[in-house]
Amino acid sequence: MSTLATAQAGLAQKGYLDLEVDPTLDLFEEINRLKKEKNAIILAHYYQEPDIQDIADYIGDSLGLSREAARTDADIIVFAGVHFMAETAKMLSPQKKVLLPDLKAGCSLADSAPAPLFKKFKEKYPDHVVVSYVNCSAELKTLTDICCTSTNAIDIINSIPADKKILFAPDKNLGAYLIKKTGRDMVLWDGACMVHEIFSKEKITKLMLRHPNAELIAHPECEEHILQMASYIGSTTGLLKYTQRSASKEFIVATEAGILHQMQKAAPDKVFIPAPPENTCACNECPHMRLNTLEKLYLCMKYEAPEIILPEWVINEGRKCIDVMMEISQKAGHIH
Ligand code: 13P
Ligand code: SF4
């Protein structure tokens, strides 16, 4: 066994928690060196900690990240995001090595829809088109007709002939929002994101009174009573772009707080306030996304592990619903 393979096997068993990184190392320099040496690309979601966003080659929302994963010519994709995103990248680029700094970086929304339970649920609606939010497992994607992200969800639903019934999974909040926006009657799976469900209507109201010129903007994974108060609803990219084009100088942002880093960078003269959660915890930071750290990113590039491995049938079957989504997204002008 090669030295690299031995190190990988060890890491696969014990994980990274026991490994110490020399605190004198300049991690930015080391990661950039490894990137060149290994022809690797770092794709990061907006919910990653600022340091990871700053070292990434591409920062984006779920749709943008999928597009980059599909078109990169790098040998290694280092996915600074959560498990379902890295799985999607693997399905789109099966010949590439896809790494996730911490394999435990999951997603409460994806976990709310275990594939075997969903399979049984789906059997009750044999004549329904299954649309799944990309925040779901690779296995759930094998049970899905069309995938969607928060950027393209309205166009995806509108692309389905009016006489077809729709079953939407796993996010009931995004589902309810889509019912309202498209007028379609949909059966919803009862799932939700732990971060977007925690925002406090009462605290946001108080904050708006203290900042009368601030606009509340929200991600569609939020509950309806929060969305009703918002002046703009959109995906992370949508929210970021809106803060740049709006004449407002102050924003209360109801989504994971990581996005504020890019908002502030793009508009340094504007004020961005993270929407407060129900209690005093930092619950507007996703505990899954935040498992990735610069240290783990470095280790994962050094040892080329943990790697996302999927059975071939999952890649082949799961990819179909993503391909349909990509085609509709392209026609709708969401990706080029
Ligand atoms: P988008 O990246 O599509 O805005 O979704 C946000 C999210 O919840 C990712 O986990
Ligand atoms: Fe999942 Fe919510 Fe975290 Fe996004 S923010 S990864 S939907 S738990």
Q: What is the mean pLDDT of each run of 10 residues along the chain (336 residues)?
A: 55 60 94 98 98 98 96 98 98 97 97 98 98 98 98 98 97 98 97 95 96 98 98 98 98 98 98 89 89 96 96 98 96 88
Measured in angstroms, how far is the CA atom of residue 35 from the centroid of ligand 1? Answer: 25
Q: How far is the CA of 194 from the centre of ligand 2 (A)?
A: 7
Indicate if 14 and 39 belong to the same structural domain. Answer: yes
CATH number of the CATH domain containing 45: 3.40.50.10800
Same-domain status, 130 and 145: yes
Task: Please check whether residues 326 and 252 belong to one and the same domain.
Answer: no
Domain membership flag for residue 160: yes
Rg (CA), the chain: 20
Q: What pLDDT is stored for residue 7 in this prediction? A: 56
Is residue 119 located within the same domain as residue 253? no
CB 74 within 8 A of CB 98: no
Residue 136 within any structural domain of the chain = yes
Ligand whose nearest atom lies closest to the CA of 193: 2
The total of other beta-carbon atoms located within 10 Å of residue 101's CB is 26
Spatial CB neighbours of 335, under 8 Å, sequence gap ≥ 6? 63, 64, 67, 326, 329
Neighbouring CB atoms inside 10 A of 6's CB total 11
Cα 295 to ligand 1 centroid, rounded to whole Å? 24
| Binding site membership of 45 for ligand 2 (Cβ less than 6 Å) | no
Residue owning the nearest CA to atom 5 of ligand 2: 286
Q: By C-alpha distance, which of 51, 90, 84, 50 is closest to 72?
A: 90
Same structural domain, 172 and 82: no
DSSP state of 276: P
- In the block, which residue shows the tokens 């569609």? 220
**Per the structure, how many domains does the chain have?**
3
Question: How far, in Å, CA of 238 to CA of 170, rounded?
Answer: 21
- Among the atoms of ligand 1, which is closest to the Cα of residue 219? 4
Contact by Cβ (8 Å): 109, 221: yes
Q: How long is the chain?
A: 336
The reply to whether ligand 2 has any atom less than 6 angstroms from the CB of 254 is no
Q: Which residues pair with 130 in a beta bridge?
A: 167
For residues 216 and 274, the answer to whether their CB atoms sit within 8 Å is no
Same domain, 185 and 328: yes
Beta strand extents in the chain (DSSP E only)? 40-45, 58-60, 76-80, 97-99, 128-133, 146-148, 165-169, 186-188, 215-218, 232-233, 250-254, 271-274
- Alpha helices (runs of H) in 171-281, residue ranges in sequence order: 172-182, 201-210, 224-227, 236-245, 260-266
User: Cβ(149) to ligand 1 under 6 A?
Assistant: yes
- Considering the domain architecture, whether residues 243 and 293 belong to the same structural domain is answered as no
Q: How far is the CA of 41 from the centre of ligand 2 (A)?
A: 23
In a shared domain, residues 34 and 79: yes
> Residue 281 has what pLDDT?
74
Any idea what DSSP says for residue 22?
Answer: P
**What is the model's pTM?**
0.94
Q: Ligand 2: which of 45, 79, 82, 222 to mutate, judged by most atoms within 8 Å of the beta carbon? A: 82
Q: Is the CB of 262 under 6 A from ligand 1?
A: no
In one-letter notation, the amino acid at residue 90 is K
Looking at the CA of residue 108, tell me the nearest atom of ligand 2. 8
Q: Are 324 and 145 in contact (CB under 8 A)?
A: yes
Has residue 294 been placed in a domain?
Answer: yes
Shared-domain flag, residues 267 and 215: yes
Q: Distance between CA atoms of 50 and 124, rounded to whole angstroms?
A: 44
Between helix 83-92 and helix 62-71 the angle, nearest 10°, is 30
| Residue 123 placed within a domain | yes
Residue having the nearest C-alpha atom to atom 4 of ligand 2: 107
**CA 208 to CA 229: how far, in whole Å?**
10
Structural domain of 258: 201-274
The answer, yes or no, to whether the previous bond of 212 is cis (omega within 30 of 0) is no
Residue 280 is assigned to a structural domain of this protein: no
44 and 128 in one domain? no
Residue 282 lies inside a defined structural domain of this protein? no
Q: Which of 109, 195, 219, 334 should be mutated for ligand 1, with most atoms under 8 A from CB?
A: 219
Q: What is the pLDDT of residue 19?
A: 76
| pLDDT value, residue 335 | 83
CB 238 within 8 A of CB 149: no
Q: Does 82 map to a domain? A: yes
For the chain, how long is the longest CA-to-CA vector? 64
Question: Ligand 2 centre and the CA of 24: distance in Å?
Answer: 33
Is 126 among the domain residues?
A: yes
Element at 324 (helix H, strand E): helix 312-331
CB of 150 sitting under 6 A from ligand 1: yes
My answer on whether 141 and 98 are in the same domain is no
15: left (phi over 0), alpha (psi -120 to 50) or beta: left
Contacts of 78 (CB under 8 A, 6+ apart): 40, 41, 42, 43, 99, 101, 297, 300, 301
Q: How far is the CA of 253 from the centre of ligand 1 (A)?
A: 14
